Every structure is written in C-alpha cells, then in structure tokens.
Structure 1
Amino acid sequence: MESRSNTAAGLLPTMLQLRTLLNRGQLYELATKAAGVALDRPAMTILVVLDAAGEPLRVGEIATRMQVVGPHVTRHLNNLEKQRIIQRVPDPDDQRARLIALTPTGQRLVDRYTGVIEGWFAAALAEWPARDRTELARLLTRLSADLTTQLDAVAAGAGSG
C-alpha cells in the first residue's frame, strides 16, 4: 500500500510549507536588500510577471497572473511608469490598446532581484545530482500545469472534484 507521504494528500503539507517559505515577507525583504532594490512587493511582483512572460502584457493579463483585480495593478503600474521602470507600448494587434513592458531600468531591477533568488535555489540544490534537478523542474512544471487545468475546470463548473 502506498504511504500517505507519496499520495496527493501527502503533498499538501509539503506544498503549503514551500508556499509559506516562498511567500513570507522575510524572503522578499532579504532578496530586495541583497539585490539593492527598493520596490514594494506588489511592484516587484509585476516586474517578475513581465520578465517571466518575456513580452509586453495587457494590464488584465498581469492582474490574472498575479491573481488580483485590475485596479490594484493599475495603481502600481502608474507608480512604476513615473519611475520609468515600465512603459506603455502599442498593442500590435489593436493600436487603440496599450501593453505594459519593462524599460531597461526595470529589466535591470528584476534581473538583480531574480538573480539573488536563483542563487539561493542554486545553492539549495548544489548537492543534488543533475538528473534530480532536471526531474524536479520537469515534475514541478507538470504539476503546475495539471493543477491549473484542474482548477480552471472546477471554476468553470466542469470539474469532478
């Protein structure tokens, strides 16, 4: 019989512990201090979302990826734009719309911040064999995609629990 720690139910405590570790303010504060970045957490999250996307995004898409409402993002975007960290660029598919893009300054800030965190991950995984690091990345990507699909189905009323 499979032990609870190897089942989906057994994943929950570990995933919650990892979520807490990654989301707690101390991690953010340590990373911004080490990177020399003086932005609040929502603003930095916007930069990370834009960087991860690899392309300019609509305000609504940024909000969706942050799991917040649009006005929350707009307020932070206005401040970031005043600081010349992001810029609004024309949407190639709709010239009336604007997309949000990192400026070179914004890209440097997010690179410093993510570089610090990536360094911490690299140090934590330094003793792991390459095949284990590769497998971890593959499995986390798969879990994230599959869980997103399941939650989208549940939200749409089509999920089976």
Structure 2
Amino acid sequence: MARKVDPDAGSDELRLPYESDVLAALVRIMTVLGSAAFQRELASAPSIPDDANAIPALYGIATLGPRRPSSLAAYLHVSAPTVSRLVEKLAAAGLVTRMPDPDDSRASLVALTAAGAEVTTDLFRVGDALMGELLSSWSDDDRSRLGILLSRLAADLSPRTP
C-alpha cells in the first residue's frame, strides 16, 4: 500500500510505495533535512558558498577531522572534480584550507579554518535549537525514547553504510 507523506498536501501528495510507516516517515524526514533549501535556511553565514554540498562538507570535516579530497568526495558521494571545485569555493570563502598530509607528502588534507569551525559550530547550534523547537510539546520521556530509538536505528544501519 502506498503511504501518503502529507495528508494535507492536496493534489500534489507524494506517495511512497513502502509498506513500512517507519520507513516512509524517515524518508520524508531525510528529504526535508537533507535538502539544500532547508540547509541553506539554517545557515545564517553569508560566507557559505551556494553549493548543495557545502554544508554537508563542513559537517563532515567538522566531525571527521581533516580529510583528503578523495575521502571527502567519497563521504559526499560525489566525483573528485566536484569536490575539487567545492574545496576551491570553500577555501575562497575562508572556511577551509589545504594542508600537507603528514602521512604522505604527496597528498593534501582539507581542514576547517577558524572561521569554518565557527560557522560549523553555529550550524550545529541552529540545528539543536530547531530540534528543541520541533519537540517542545513532546514530553521528556518521548524525547528520550525518540533519541534512544533513533540512535539504535543509526547503529544498526552503520554496518550497511558504503
């Protein structure tokens, strides 16, 4: 049976052919949270380049640490030329820098600058504030259970990540 994503969407209802209500809801959430428009709305820093991969790249570098461009491309699921252009945009905006890879002098790493770390910290803060607002009417117990269950699902999905 097809699932309605938004019962109030009128004639433009998106129907997902999942039997699972959970999967349908997760796809809806991921679609919204992962969209470039939503991420751009969260980002108050005008220095972030207008590139759909800019914010995910900043998140990745902030959480995983300095990365080789090839590792960043794999993380973002984009090609090497795409990540090369992205790194140039982020570097021109003063958010990342290239530095020598201490393990291989022929390679470089992409790392956040102080400004990039500040912008990324702000993105995390805004995301936390949004989630607090969205869940403000939920009980403490419901918020806690949601966190536990989503963490469990994330852990179960981790081994399947390419």
TM-score, normalisation: structure 2: 0.74
- Residues 110 and 37 from structure 1, CA distance in 2 versus in 1: closer, same or farther, beyond 3 angstroms? farther
- Residues 149 and 70 from structure 1, CA distance in 2 versus in 1: closer, same or farther, beyond 3 angstroms? same
Query: Which residue of structure 2 aligns with residue 99 of structure 1?
Result: 109
> What SS class does the counterpart of residue 100 from structure 2 fall into?
strand
TM-score, normalisation: structure 1: 0.74
- Residues 12 and 96 from structure 1, CA distance in 2 versus in 1: closer, same or farther, beyond 3 angstroms? same
Counterpart Cα distance in 2 of 1:150 and 1:83: 35
Q: Unpaired segments of 5 or more residues in structure 2?
A: 1-18
Asked if the contact 2:101–2:109 (Cα under 8 Å) also holds between the matched residues in 1, the reply is yes
Length, aligned pairs only: 142
Query: Which residue of structure 2 aligns with residue 5 of structure 1?
Result: none
Counterpart Cα distance in 2 of 1:151 and 1:106: 27
Superposed CA deviations along residues 28-57 of structure 1, whole A, max 9, x for unmatched, are 23212xx2334223222211111122x211
Identical counterparts, % of pairs = 28
Counterpart Cα distance in 1 of 2:120 and 2:161: 29
Counterpart Cα distance in 2 of 1:67 and 1:148: 16
The code of the aligned residue for 1:90 comes to P
The code of the aligned residue for 2:46 comes to V
Q: Between the two structures, name the one with larger relative contact order (CA 8 Å, sep ≥ 6).
A: 1
Q: Please say if 1:74 is aligned against 2:88.
A: no
Superposed CA deviations along residues 54-100 of structure 1, whole A, max 9, x for unmatched, are x2111122122212222211111012223321111222322332111
